[in-house]
Amino acid sequence: MHIRTEREEDYSQIYEVVKKAFEKAEHSDGNEQDLVEKLRKNKAYINSLSLVCEDNDKIVGYVMFTKNKIGKVTGLTLAPLAILPKYQHRRLGTLLVKSGLKIAKELGYEYVVVLGNPKYYNRFGFVTSKEFGIKSPFDVPSKNFMALNLIDNDDREDLNAVVEYPKPFLK
C-alpha cells in the first residue's frame, strides 16, 4: 500500500472510489463524490491534503482535508474519507487519516473538525468539538461533531465559534 497526494489524472478513479465507498453507508446523501469535485474548485482546496491510497497502482482509498474558518482561526475539515468496500477493515482509513494529520500539523494547522463516528475518530484523538468551544452550523448530535487540536498548547483558549464551511458543504 502506498499513500500519496492526488493528481489530476486520478480524479475519475477517486470519483468512483468515493461513490462506491458511500453506496451502502449508513449516513450518506449519495453525493460525496460530487462534493469532492466541487471542493477541488474552491479556494478551500489543499492539494497536499488530498491523499490517495494505492494498491498495485490502483486507487483504493481517499481522504480530503479542506480549509474552514473557526472564528479567527483557519482550520481544516476532514471529509470525505472513503475506502473501496473490499478494502475496508484493513486499516487503510487509519493510514490515510494519520498521513493527513501529520501533513496538516507540518503545515501549521491547529484544528481539524470531522462529522463522523466517535468510535472511529476517537482513535486519532478527536473529541467532541464543544471541548474547544467549536460549534457546528448544522443540527447534528454533539457526539458526532468532533475536533482535534494538532498543536500542543496549554495556553489555548476556547474558540467559542461556529465553523464556517466552504460553500460546497452547504449545498
- Per-residue pLDDT reduced to its tens digit, 65-114: 999 999 999 999 999 999 999 999 999 999 999 999 999 999 999 999 99
> What total number of domains does the chain contain?
1
| Mean pLDDT across the chain | 94
Whether pTM > 0.75 for this model: the answer is yes
Q: Which three cell numbers stand for residue 28?
A: 450518506
Sign of the torsion angle spanned by Cα atoms 136, 142, 144, 149: positive
What pLDDT score does 157 carry?
72
Is residue 154 pLDDT above 70, yes or no? no
SS3 106: helix
Q: Which three cell numbers stand for residue 134?
A: 467549536
**What are the beta bridge partners of residue 63?**
51, 81
Distance CA 145, CA 117 (A): 9
Q: Determine the structural domain holding residue 59 and report its residue range.
A: 2-170
Residue 141: DSSP 8-state: -
CATH of the domain at 89: 3.40.630.30
Q: Which three cell numbers stand for residue 146?
A: 468532533
